[in-house]
Amino acid sequence: MANQTQFVNAEFFKNGLQRFLPNSQAVGLASILVISFVLIYYLSDLLMPVFVSIVLAFLLEGLVEKIEKLKVSRWLAVCLVFVFSMTCLVFLLFYLLPIVSEQAVELIQQIPYIIQRAQSEIMRLPKAYPQFISERKISELVFSVQKELLTYGQKMLSISAASVVGLVSALIYLFLVPMMVFFFLKDKNDLIDWFVQFMPKDRHLSVRVWREIDEQIGNYVHGKFAEVFVLWAVSMITFSILGLDYAMLLSVLMGLQAIIPYVGATLVTFPVLGVAYFQWGSSGDDFMYVLIAYFTIQALDGVVLVPLLFSEAVNLHPIAIIVAILFFGGLWGFWGVFLAIPLATVVKAVLRAWPSIDDSGGGGQQV
């Protein structure tokens, strides 16, 4: 009886393996995924500049290929794309970043005034709605908020104390990453040939999954960059016309909100409307103009811009997007958040390919 039970358990385990690892191609794909995840997870601190360079080279590869289609040599195409990307980097570092930093400092300096004004506004609530809220509760709430802000202020001081280390890291990224991106683009074919020799020979499934991932991620990331730029430009023009303070800072936040779907738009609402409220109050026409303009931009982004830019991108359920942001953001911080949807696309592509594998172990065409 015991032998029969062991035999049944062995058959069940064997059938399970055959279901999830049906053939050598699936085993090879699983091995590649596991090894890649382990290497990235455990070596991310040491080799993060390399990983960042690979990601940037992958994003720029699309532009290189488009220029090559115009009968331009790859060397010249790489040089043109590299010069263009460096020009954008110089614009960000020496024009956009100083303005954003200056406005951020000005806004931080206004925080005590904002807190004081908010406190006076909140203290009016017990008089207006005594049946719902008491003055004691308001005082406790204000004290709690002040305590949290003090804690955050202390954390900011500790971060600024370590700014020297951050400056050194930034300099490393500033010089090392562009150099590696250039060589990744220039020597792409040689590097791929070198890497392929370490992969399993029976890799038709892996190549099929990679082609789908390459197409979907390329469409998504290129569209996301376009969305960020359009949101920043439209917001900057709109906020400047309306005379909103810290227009550049808030416009950058409007652009960056696109990186984190759903969550980003919610978070950006507070600084934009908060600055407008403390600049004009809620009763003036100027505040209403900003309110209407802000929600108009958000609506056009969701109704027009996103469908136009992402018509060919992968369609993920909102819950899957939020879970991906939480999971990969917890693993790799900013880059995990930025690449959460592409990484979720990888998972989806693998799951879509898995059931279509022939259980008989047919290898298909090798690549």
Residue 2 inside a domain? The answer is no
Query: What's the rounded mean pLDDT across residues 276-293?
Result: 86
Residues 191 and 307 in one domain: no
Residue 166 inside a domain? The answer is yes
Residues 125 and 212 in one domain: no
Residues 173 and 76 in one domain: yes
Share of the chain above pLDDT 70, in %: 70
Residue-by-residue DSSP string for 84-131:
HHHHHHHHIIIIIHHHHHHHHHHHHHTHHHHHHHHHHHHTTHHHH-TT
Q: Is the per-residue pLDDT at 363 higher than 50?
A: no
Residue 126 inside a domain? The answer is yes
Residues 41 and 112 in one domain: yes
> How close are the terminal C-alpha atoms of the chain, in Å?
49
Distance of alpha carbon 306 from alpha carbon 224, whole angstroms: 9
Decide which of 202, 223, 246 is a domain's last residue: 202
Residues 156 and 231 in one domain: no
Domain that holds residue 241: 203-357
Query: What's the rounded mean pLDDT across residues 194-213?
Result: 73
Return the amino acid letter for 16: G
Residue 3 inside a domain? The answer is no
Residues 215 and 156 in one domain: no
Distance of alpha carbon 75 from alpha carbon 185, whole angstroms: 9
For residues 249 and 100, the answer to whether their CB atoms sit within 8 Å is yes
Residue 293 inside a domain? The answer is yes
Q: What is the pLDDT of residue 132?
A: 66
What distances in angstroms separate CA 139 from CA 112, 126, 133, one per listed residue?
17, 11, 11
The model's pLDDT over 44-70, given as tens digits with 9 standing for 90+, comes to: 777 778 888 888 888 888 888 889 888
Provide the 3-class DSSP secondary structure of residue 134: coil
Residues 210 and 193 in one domain: no
Query: Is this model's pTM higher than 0.85 or not?
Result: no
Residues 258 and 129 in one domain: no
Distance of alpha carbon 177 from alpha carbon 172, whole angstroms: 8
Residues 210 and 115 in one domain: no
Q: Is the per-residue pLDDT at 140 higher than 80?
A: no
Residue 287 inside a domain? The answer is yes
Residue 335 inside a domain? The answer is yes
Decide which of 185, 202, 219 is a domain's last residue: 202
Residue listed under structure tokens 């942001």: 325
Q: What is the pLDDT of residue 364?
A: 41
Residues 208 and 323 in one domain: yes
Q: What is the pLDDT of residue 239?
A: 93
R_g over Cα of the chain? 26
Residues 181 and 237 in one domain: no
Query: What's the rounded mean pLDDT across residues 225-232?
Result: 89
> Among 83-87, 224-228, 332-336, which stretch is predicted with the lowest mean pLDDT?
332-336
Residues 146 and 211 in one domain: no
**What is the number of structural domains in the chain?**
2
Q: Is the per-residue pLDDT at 161 higher than 50?
A: no
For residues 353 and 209, the answer to whether their CB atoms sit within 8 Å is yes
For residues 238 and 293, the answer to whether their CB atoms sit within 8 Å is yes
Q: Which of 304, 313, 295, 53 is nearest to 186 (CA)?
A: 53
Decide which of 202, 228, 262 is a domain's last residue: 202
Residue 9 inside a domain? The answer is no
